[in-house]
A and B are shown apart, each in its own frame.
Chain A
Amino acid sequence: MNTTNPGRKFLESIVPPLLLFAVVVVVWHACVLGFHLKPYVLPAPLAVAKALVNDRAILVRAVGYTGSAALCGFSASLLIGTAIAFVFSQSRIIRSCGYPYFIFLQTVPIVAIAPLIVRWCGNGFQSVAFVSLILSLFPILSNGTQGLLEIDPDLLDLFRLNNASRWQILTKLRFPSAVPGILAGARTSSGLAVVGAIVGEFFVGYGSKRFGLGYLINTTNDQLQIDRLFAAVFTSTLFGIAIFGLVNLISVTILRRWYDGPVEHRN
């Protein structure tokens, strides 16, 4: 078996989930027919496919809006999360003061504070991006802090023996060592950023006729257009997977180029 062939590897990773998908669609269709389910309870797979085709222009546009907000939120969380991780890595006191509040940020139900965010940031893109930022910040922050702190003691000794300054240790040792951790956090965060943007759109729109996937999910549900709802959810999922795949690809490339291979975390 030639496992090194990338084409074959790709097939091996994509065929089994597609097979399962086909099985689910068949069972789903059988259930709709067998139990005579109403379309507002569970639409048939074919109806969803039709909705996907009919709504394609709306869906593509919605992905564009949601994607931009998610990208903004994700980029901001990458920058802000890494920056806070830097600050946390410098002092235990700062760390123990600040860390619980970021856990709070992770655990607070986002739907509960979303209206507040809208009140503070205004109705529009910025609020959606902000919700996305809040939801995606924690993995980068916690993985980054861990990566900056978990340094091989021998390497720290090596730097100390060469009379390295704090800044040199940070830039030449801690930050490069933390990159695999930050990237692992980024992979988790990328999916959360998309979820954050969709949740944000439940509460805010971008203006008339400009809406994202979240708004689409919300309104089609209200209007009992369950086939369109399914189409929107399906698109959201595909979009989330695509973003995760992209971030994963970037991180694997970086890790392979500069580190000991595509690792989750060194050590």
Chain B
Amino acid sequence: MCDDRKERHSPASETPSKKLDDVTETATRLIEARDVAVSFGPLRPVLKEITCDIHEGEFVSLLGPSGCGKSTLLRLVAGLISPTSGQITLAGLSPVAARRGDQRVAFVFQEPNLLPWRSVADNIRLPLELRGLPRREHAERIESSLKLIGLTADDSQKPPRSLSGGMRMRVSLARALVTQPDLLLLDEPFAALDDVLRQQLNEELAQIWMQHHWTGLFVTHNVAEAVFLSQRVLVMNKRPGTIIAEIQIPFPYPRKPELRADPDFARLCGELSQQLREAAR
């Protein structure tokens, strides 16, 4: 959890999710960040004093105003960039070493980023090819991954350009899930979609997480999305980004669409929006 300097806010202590909190308290730490800072050149600090833990099997959202360095933090965890100072570990190792070892890290980008020259199925196959998985295992994995995100075998032979924006994002999600990740990093994957589709995909994502229990780190600037999906929300302030609050989300899983109409949900969203406004100031 965040260190003592950060505000600890848990409006949910008396709710049924208490049990879930206990689980995360005792679970193994997967990601540990200690006083991490990143700057792109001396005049462009992006992140500072990031200290937080994320436990195995947890679903955590990073919520912050645009440009606060959320995505940079995600790339740091993925080992795609290195911290300028401080330390970040993934399963006790540097993220790159962990990734090359037995930690499977998958990333879902803001854009679907599908390869236009490959069919849907071949796009989903890509990580398996790159990781050198035996070909005989591909079909089964791809099929179950397609099923998970609600695409048919017919869709799988189509070129990505023939799919709608929402479908493309589903394929992108399937491509991440096909690796059976230990850690799934999601960088505002639904930001470009309309509200109804976004809510629907949120519900499906929460469902998939419940079934498979990878660790999820979800970047968003949408408060309702963060509250709906996560067990815990880390609020960041504007650049150079740092974590200013950590909020436990008390609602039990599975989370149903009706949750959005719950007064507690609305209250929590209101509080977080307030925090976000202050963060952007």
Given contacts A258-B117, A259-B116, A261-B161, contact A162 B109 (CB under 8 A): no
Q: Which residues of A contact B161 (CB under 8 A)?
A: 260-261
Q: Which residues of B contact A152 (CB under 8 A)?
A: 113
Interface residues of B in 20-56 (CB under 8 A from A): none
Asked if residues B131 and A258 are in contact (CB atoms below 8 Å), the reply is no
Interface residues of A in 212-267 (CB under 8 A from B): 258-261, 266
Q: Which residues of B contact A164 (CB under 8 A)?
A: 130
Asked if residues B115 and A157 are in contact (CB atoms below 8 Å), the reply is no
Residue-wise interface mask of A (147-183) relative to B, using a CB-CB cutoff of 8 A (1 in contact, 0 not): 0000010110111111110001000110010010000
Number of interface residues of B (CB under 8 A): 22
Q: Which residues of B contact A155 (CB under 8 A)?
A: 113, 115
- B8 → chain A closest CB, angstroms: 33
Name the residue of chain B whose CB is nearest to the CB of A153.
B80
Asked if residues A176 and B105 are in contact (CB atoms below 8 Å), the reply is no
Asked if residues B130 and A157 are in contact (CB atoms below 8 Å), the reply is no
Asked if residues B115 and A176 are in contact (CB atoms below 8 Å), the reply is yes
Name the residue of chain A whose CB is nearest to the CB of B100.
A163
B78 contacts chain A at the CB level, 8 A cutoff: yes
- How far apart are the CA atoms of A148 and B105 in the complex, in Å? 26
| Chain A interface size, under 10 / 10 to 19 / 20 to 34 / 35 or more | 20 to 34
Q: Which residues of B contact A159 (CB under 8 A)?
A: 130
Asked if residues A158 and B80 are in contact (CB atoms below 8 Å), the reply is no
- How far apart are the CA atoms of A266 and B115 in the complex, in Å? 12
- How far apart are the CA atoms of A211 and B189 in the complex, in Å? 63
Name the residue of chain A whose CB is nearest to the CB of B179.
A162
Q: Which residues of B contact A154 (CB under 8 A)?
A: 109, 111, 113
Residue-wise interface mask of B (140-173) relative to A, using a CB-CB cutoff of 8 A (1 in contact, 0 not): 0000000000000000000101000000000000
Asked if residues A176 and B117 are in contact (CB atoms below 8 Å), the reply is yes
- How far apart are the CA atoms of A259 and B117 in the complex, in Å? 5
B190 contacts chain A at the CB level, 8 A cutoff: no
Asked if residues B131 and A162 are in contact (CB atoms below 8 Å), the reply is yes
Indicate which residue in A172, A176, A266 contacts B130 across the interface (CB closer than 8 Å).
A172
Given contacts A163-B99, A176-B117, A260-B161, contact A157 B75 (CB under 8 A): yes
Given contacts A157-B80, A260-B161, A261-B161, contact A162 B113 (CB under 8 A): no
Asked if residues A158 and B109 are in contact (CB atoms below 8 Å), the reply is yes
B129 contacts chain A at the CB level, 8 A cutoff: yes
Name the residue of chain A whose CB is nearest to the CB of B131.
A162
A-B CB proximity, top 5 nearest: A162-B130, A258-B117, A164-B130, A162-B127, A154-B109
